[in-house]
Amino acid sequence: MSVEEAYYEPLTVVVSPEEGGMTVRKVLERRLGVSRKLLSRLKLTEQGITVNGRRVYTSERVQEGDQLTVRMEQEESDDILAEPMELDIVFEDRNLLIVNKPPGIVVHPTHGHYTGTLANGVIYHWKQQGEKVRFRPVHRLDEDTSGLVAIAKTPYVHQQLSEQLQRGEVDKRYRAYVYRAPRELAGTINAPIDRDPEEPHVRIVTPSGYDSVTHYDTEEVYGNGIAAKVKLKLETGRTHQIRVHMKHIGCPLIGDKLYGYASEGDAASKGGSPQMEAAVNRQALHAAVLGLTHPISRERMVFEAALPQDLQQLEDYLLKLNGLRVLEIKE
Q: Which residues are catalytic?
A: 142
Phi-psi region of 210 (alpha: psi -120 to 50; beta: other; left: phi over 0): beta
- Say if CB 144 and CB 240 are below 8 A apart: no
Q: How far is CA 321 from CA 119, 178, 231, 274, in A?
A: 39, 14, 20, 14
Q: For strand 146-152 and strand 285-293, is the pairing parallel, antiparallel, or unpaired?
A: parallel
Q: How far is CA 198 from CA 159, 194, 322, in A?
A: 35, 12, 41
Q: Exposed, middle or buried by CB within 10 Å (0-12, 13-18, 19+), for 45?
A: middle
For the chain, state the CA radius of gyration.
24
Q: How far is CA 283 from CA 49, 170, 254, in A?
A: 47, 23, 6
Q: Give the Cβ contact number of residue 79 at 10 Å.
A: 9
Q: How far is CA 233 from CA 100, 230, 264, in A?
A: 18, 10, 29
